């Protein structure tokens, strides 16, 4: 089979992207004699027709590199901000670029937002195959995403290292881990790193419940505690107001009232940016133990991908080429029970895989006496 495959990476960078790019490029060229081009900086590069040839030389030596050699960006293909307040549907322009290069398929690598964009492109006739990557592990329809294993190891090591400082200074060490809407990374790192408190977006927390747990440890002779908190974790009070606003916006028919509600919701989100610091201060006040905050931030995305992520990215990348050869597009290549499977994008886009409250990791945490804030 001959033809050309396009690749782009979108959303946040993630360990394993280069391994997936390499897998697509080499499998397409060596197994089927196909050409591969990359679009720079995600969907923006597709819109602007900024390409690079992906051949043997450009694919050599990238397996172990973090980030993405193609660059990335965040845009909505059907609502591209032109900078003057206007938002324009750029999919017709993207269609022309795909036609110009006579692409057999476009492979899009990304998280939840990328899946939505991929479906939007599929809806206007662009043959799309998507690959799930994100350190949050929250893409629906796949057992895991590449990038998660590496980030989990980095976050766990950070929790490990905080133990010695917490023990030496009799402190509460509050470590903020990435995860706006799903707590996979915080839960996994908290369990693996032996955190005493784990706070997730899926479980609204009570500051009083957390403080009581720490005081119980103190009474038992443990003068330190490790609190692992996801960046999207909310107190029960804030979560209640957040959900109320979302429901009001969904039901609202008045454009002016909707703008006011969205403004209040945005203000709530902005205030929550400092929630980890506020939590640490509240715990210090309630327990009498000195508190310190560590925010891991983007360090969780960086560095060399783990062997697990390289293997997963390679498996999914080669499976994506096989899907293209079969003429199977409009799908995401997921992994289920260790095997790649094609899942329709219509089933994936707009859905999020959060931590079930009866998940085995949750059950293990509760049996260990870990406080989950509820």
Q: What is the pLDDT of residue 372?
A: 97
Q: What is the pLDDT of residue 320?
A: 98
Q: Mean pLDDT, consecutive 10-residue segments, the chain of 374 residues?
A: 92 94 96 96 96 91 93 91 82 96 97 96 97 97 97 95 83 94 97 97 94 93 93 86 81 80 80 85 92 91 93 98 97 97 97 96 97 95
Count of helices and strands (H, E) across the chain: 14, 13
Alpha helices in the chain (DSSP H): 17-32, 42-48, 56-59, 91-100, 112-123, 148-169, 184-193, 207-219, 236-251, 255-271, 275-287, 307-326, 345-348, 360-367
294/143 Cα distance (integer angstroms): 30
Tell me the CA end-to-end span of the chain in Å, nearest whole number.
Answer: 57
Strand partners, 342: 333
109/11 Cα distance (integer angstroms): 9
70/52 Cα distance (integer angstroms): 8
Q: What is the pLDDT of residue 271?
A: 74
Domain boundaries, the chain: 4-147+305-348, 152-301
Please say whether the structural domain 152-301 has been given the CATH code 1.10.287.3510.
Answer: no
**What crossing angle do the helices spanning 184-193 and 148-169 adopt, rounded to 10°?**
50
Domain 4-147+305-348 belongs to what architecture? 3-Layer(aba) Sandwich (3.40)
Q: What is the pLDDT of residue 303?
A: 87
Q: What is the pLDDT of residue 125?
A: 96
99/326 Cα distance (integer angstroms): 20
**What crossing angle do the helices spanning 207-219 and 275-287 adopt, rounded to 10°?**
40
Q: What is the pLDDT of residue 62?
A: 94
Q: What is the pLDDT of residue 153?
A: 96
Q: In what order do the strands lie in the sheet with 51-53?
A: 51-53, 35-39, 4-9, 103-110, 128-132, 331-336, 339-344
User: Does 152-301 match 4-147+305-348 at the fold level?
Assistant: yes
Among candidate residues 41, 136, 149, 196, the one labeled active-site is 136
Q: What is the DSSP string of 257-297?
A: HHHHHHHHHHHHHHHGGGHHHHHHHHHHHHH--EEEEEE-G
228/190 Cα distance (integer angstroms): 6
Contact criterion met (CB below 8 Å) for 301 and 151: yes
320/318 Cα distance (integer angstroms): 5
| SS3 category, 80 | strand
136 is catalytic: yes
Contact criterion met (CB below 8 Å) for 211 and 181: no
**Two structure tokens written together for 290:** 């000195």
Q: What is the pLDDT of residue 119?
A: 98
């Amino acid at each position: 089979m001959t033809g050309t495959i396009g690749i782009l990476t979108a959303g946040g960078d993630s360990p394993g992207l280069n391994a997936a790019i390499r897998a697509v490029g080499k499998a397409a060229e060596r197994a089927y004699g196909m050409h591969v081009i990359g679009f720079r900086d995600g969907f923006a590069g597709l819109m602007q027709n900024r390409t690079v040839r992906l051949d043997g030389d450009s694919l050599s030596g990238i397996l172990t590199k973090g980030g993405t050699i193609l660059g990335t960006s965040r845009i909505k293909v059907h609502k591209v901000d032109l900078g003057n307040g206007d938002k324009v549907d750029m999919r017709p322009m993207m269609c022309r670029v795909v036609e110009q290069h006579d692409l057999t398929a476009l492979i899009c690598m990304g998280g939840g937002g990328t899946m939505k964009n991929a479906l939007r492109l599929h809806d206007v006739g662009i043959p799309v195959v998507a690959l799930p990557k994100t350190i949050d592990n929250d893409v629906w329809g796949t057992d895991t995403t590449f990038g998660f294993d590496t980030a989990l190891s980095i976050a766990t090591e950070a929790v490990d290292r905080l133990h010695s400082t917490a023990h030496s200074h009799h402190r509460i060490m509050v470590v903020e881990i990435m995860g706006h809407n799903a707590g996979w990374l915080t839960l996994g790192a908290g369990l693996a790193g032996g955190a005493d408190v784990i706070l997730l977006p899926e479980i609204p927390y009570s500051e009083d419940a957390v403080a009581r747990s720490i005081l119980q440890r103190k009474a038992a002779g443990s003068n330190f505690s490790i609190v692992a908190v996801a960046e999207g974790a909310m107190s029960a009070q804030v979560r209640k107001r957040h959900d109320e606003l979302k429901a009001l916006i969904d039901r609202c028919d008045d454009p002016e009232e909707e703008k006011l509600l969205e403004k209040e919701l945005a203000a709530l989100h902005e205030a929550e940016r400092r929630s980890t610091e506020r939590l640490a201060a509240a715990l210090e006040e309630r327990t009498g133990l000195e508190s310190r905050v560590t925010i891991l931030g983007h360090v969780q995305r960086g560095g060399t991908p783990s062997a697990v992520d390289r293997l997963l990215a390679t498996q999914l990348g080669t499976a994506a080429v096989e899907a293209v050869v079969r003429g199977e597009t409009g799908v995401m290549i997921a992994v289920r029970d260790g095997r790649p499977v094609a899942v329709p994008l219509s089933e994936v886009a707009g859905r999020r895989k959060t931590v079930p409250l009866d998940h085995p990791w949750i059950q293990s945490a509760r049996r260990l006496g870990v406080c989950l804030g509820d």
